[in-house]
Amino acid sequence: MSAKKLAFAAVFALSAAWPAAAQVKIAQSAEQIAVDIDGKPFTVFYIGGKDLNRPYLHPIRAASGKIVNRSFPAGQVAGETTDHPHHAGLFYGHGDVNGFNYWAIQNVPTKPDAAMGRIVLNKVASVKSGKESGTVDVVLDWLKPDGKPLLTETRRMTFYAHPELRIIDFDFDFAAVDKVVFRDTKEGTFAMRMATALEEPAAKEKPGAIPRTGKLINAQGGEREANVWGKRSEWVDYAGVLDGEKVGVVMMDHPGNPRHPTYWHSRGYGLHSINPFGLHDFLNDPKQDGSLTVEPGQHVRFRYRVVVHPGLSPARIAELYKQYAQARSSSSNQ
């Protein structure tokens, strides 16, 4: 079987039949790229605007239409949390790259800040719709505070049509303009903020607060933040009940990535994040150094899959991960 056919077989292995109307429709406008799946809105990729300092996807919907990520700061759902306003949608950033912060970026009017970088669109290289999948290819510039580029990010996002899942494959290629050091910090990297109802329950809930129903679980069977945060794992699922409906978001680390299986910065308060760099925090050992250096003109590549699902069991998620790992490894070798 060809690599392409193997990849599609893996994505659709849980389907009993291919829905006749299934398709991915992607539409680009000046400041955003909208993605519809099977005739229903899925997400929007925000790429422009005078106050956009880092691109992001929002909202992220389940196949049922339920929005699984926190609305704030793009919007405001009654009762949801409003901490960490830089947790905007599904995004990529890191807290210390050559001493500049690309994690705590807010999409608001900004003044010059000697510590804060920006991630901005260079160009949209390609937008393609399709029956089985659609793709978005963009080039982004990671700018230093003086406005000069530090590195160039080439990102491909592949969106798949599926009757019960919402699947996105991310392929990040980073090319260093200057010598680039992704320094050791827990503040990163590939992340989203879950809907408030999907956070893990606190020991003592505040009166009148949205009931929390979520739970973190990793590929090794570790449950809740204490057994997931700072640990290495091939995947981590964050799942619960949203308006009476079981939903979850599993993030997967490609087996060809540097430092696979990756470390995780996923927290009980709703942050769901992959971070391969924060070793001294995760291991509680200041002698550890998780920095990664990319020399000028050199590249580093990271690939991830995000699956929004209707409360799948860990066993079924493990099957999905195995299919992803096999298909992506095969296509990588072509």
Domain positions in the chain:
3-14+23-332
Report the SS3 class of residue 211: coil
Reading the block at residue 88, the tokens are: 């905007």
At 203 the pLDDT is: 84
Interhelix angle 314-332/3-11, nearest 10 degrees: 170
At 76 the pLDDT is: 85
> Rounded to whole angstroms, how far apart are CA atoms 57 and 90?
5
Tell me if the bond preceding 110 is cis, omega within 30° of 0. no
> Rounded to whole angstroms, how far apart are CA atoms 165 and 265?
24
pTM equals 0.92
For the chain, 334 residues long, the average pLDDT of each consecutive 10-residue run is: 50 46 88 97 96 97 98 89 94 98 95 94 98 97 97 98 97 97 98 98 86 97 98 98 97 97 98 98 96 98 98 98 82 44
Per the CB < 8 A criterion, the answer to whether 293 and 197 are in contact is: no
At 17 the pLDDT is: 41
At 114 the pLDDT is: 92
> Rounded to whole angstroms, how far apart are CA atoms 284 and 52?
35
Per the CB < 8 A criterion, the answer to whether 20 and 6 are in contact is: no
CA max distance for the chain: 57
At 10 the pLDDT is: 52
> Rounded to whole angstroms, how far apart are CA atoms 121 and 33?
12
At 8 the pLDDT is: 52
At 65 the pLDDT is: 97
Fold of 3-14+23-332: Beta-galactosidase; Chain A, domain 5 (2.70.98)
Beta strands (DSSP E) in the chain are 24-28, 32-37, 40-46, 56-57, 90-94, 118-128, 133-143, 149-160, 166-176, 180-182, 188-193, 215-218, 235-242, 245-253, 271-274, 292-294, 299-309
Per the CB < 8 A criterion, the answer to whether 223 and 217 are in contact is: yes
